[in-house]
């Protein structure tokens, strides 16, 4: 009972933080969910590292459907969304996430782990340094937009994220207002989650010895706890985006990413 309560507290607090980051920065929270849920599944449910990592990635991507969807809804409600831009990226995003979700269980799990760690350190460095991005005036055509969406979604699926740390700078590079860039990132995160979730459910459906209440490689208690708490805070965060210095929050998030990368580096 004590272990169960500890797990509930950890995942609920994680969901609250993820909701805030999703609303403010357009980040789905996978960089937090993946290491935290990997740790939870290993220590509370005695899942092997390989399976725990895949379940953490699958659950993270499934949760992004809800957090990114809620974030996108409230951005739209506050006239901070343009679906005419997002629609150009959706086909590539769906295809990239779907294809990679079927490939990822056949990849070397150690490679996935180190890819995650390298990306976490790189994202922390870029966010903390806050380099000014040289911008170009035009967004790419539909074909190139779909291609970029495919690449970002494929990478995001391997790591278990909603693509915010790649989509937001990408849109700012194309002279999109930063707040709109966050909203666009959230909307595309929905389709990364949708495309990837089916593959993780299908690939894990015949695996034995997974925790109870799992659907394939998606851990339902983790999905429920993280999503329910994050949805509460994502609504608040979409209001705070006009009030809180986003630069300060980015610095704090960068430090958090650095420590997450370190923790994963020493996890076996």
Predicted pLDDT of residue 58: 94
Tokens of 157: 């699926």
Which spans in the chain are helix H? Answer: 2-25, 30-45, 49-77, 83-86, 90-103, 109-129, 142-159, 164-173, 178-204, 220-240, 246-265
Phi, psi for residue 241 in degrees, rounded to 5: -55, -25
Predicted pLDDT of residue 3: 54
Q: pLDDT confidence of 170, banded at 50, 70, 90? A: confident
138, exposed or middle or buried, with CB in 10 Å at 0-12, 13-18, 19+?
Answer: exposed
**What is the pLDDT averaged over residues 62-87?**
87
Whether 262 shows a pLDDT value over 90: the answer reads no
User: Please, what is the end-to-end C-alpha distance for the chain in angstroms?
Assistant: 26
pTM reported for the whole predicted model: 0.81
Strand partners, 215: 218
223, exposed or middle or buried, with CB in 10 Å at 0-12, 13-18, 19+?
Answer: buried
Whether 139 shows a pLDDT value over 60: the answer reads yes
Q: pLDDT confidence of 26, banded at 50, 70, 90? A: low
Please report, rounded to a whole number, the percentage of residues in the chain having pLDDT higher than 70. 86
CB 60 within 8 A of CB 33: yes
- Conformational region of residue 26, where left means phi above 0, alpha means psi within -120 to 50, and beta covers everything else: left
Predicted pLDDT of residue 249: 64
pLDDT in tens, 244-254: 666 776 676 67
Phi, psi for residue 214 in degrees, rounded to 5: -110, 145
**What is the pLDDT averaged over residues 31-39?**
87
Lowest model confidence (mean pLDDT) among 133-147, 151-165, 195-209, 251-265: 251-265
Q: How far is CA 191 from the centre of its chain?
A: 11
Higher pLDDT: 91 or 251? It is: 91
Average pLDDT, the chain: 83
For tokens 């490689």, what's the residue? 217
Lowest model confidence (mean pLDDT) among 97-111, 143-157, 208-222, 252-266: 252-266
**Residue 118 neighbours by CB under 8 Å, 6+ apart:** none
Other Cβ atoms within 10 Å of 48 Cβ, number: 12
Predicted pLDDT of residue 1: 47
Q: pLDDT confidence of 233, banded at 50, 70, 90? A: confident
Q: pLDDT confidence of 76, banded at 50, 70, 90? A: confident
């Amino acid at each position: 009972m004590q272990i169960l309560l500890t797990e509930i507290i950890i995942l609920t607090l994680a969901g609250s933080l993820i909701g805030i980051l999703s609303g403010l920065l357009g980040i789905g929270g996978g960089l937090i969910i993946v290491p935290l849920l990997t740790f939870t599944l290993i220590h509370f449910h005695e899942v092997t590292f390989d399976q725990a990592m895949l379940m953490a990635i699958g659950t993270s991507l499934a949760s992004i459907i809800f957090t990114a969807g809620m974030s996108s809804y409230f951005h739209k409600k506050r006239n901070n969304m343009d679906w005419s831009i997002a629609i150009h990226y959706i086909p590539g995003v769906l295809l990239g996430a779907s294809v990679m979700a079927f490939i990822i269980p056949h990849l070397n799990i150690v490679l996935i782990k180190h890819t995650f760690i390298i990306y976490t350190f790189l994202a922390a460095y870029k966010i903390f340094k806050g380099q000014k991005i040289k911008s170009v005036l035009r967004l790419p055509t539909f074909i190139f937009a779909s291609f970029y969406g495919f690449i970002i979604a494929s990478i995001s699926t391997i790591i278990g994220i909603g693509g915010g740390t790649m989509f937001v700078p990408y849109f700012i590079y194309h002279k999109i207002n930063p707040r709109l860039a966050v909203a666009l990132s959230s909307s595309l995160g929905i389709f990364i989650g949708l495309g990837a979730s089916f593959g993780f459910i299908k690939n894990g459906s015949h695996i034995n010895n997974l925790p109870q209440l799992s659907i394939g490689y998606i851990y339902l208690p983790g999905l429920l706890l993280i999503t329910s708490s994050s949805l509460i805070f994502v609504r608040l965060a979409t209001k705070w985006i006009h009030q809180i210095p986003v630069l300060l929050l980015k610095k704090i998030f960068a430090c958090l990413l650095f420590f997450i990368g370190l923790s994963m580096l020493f996890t076996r």
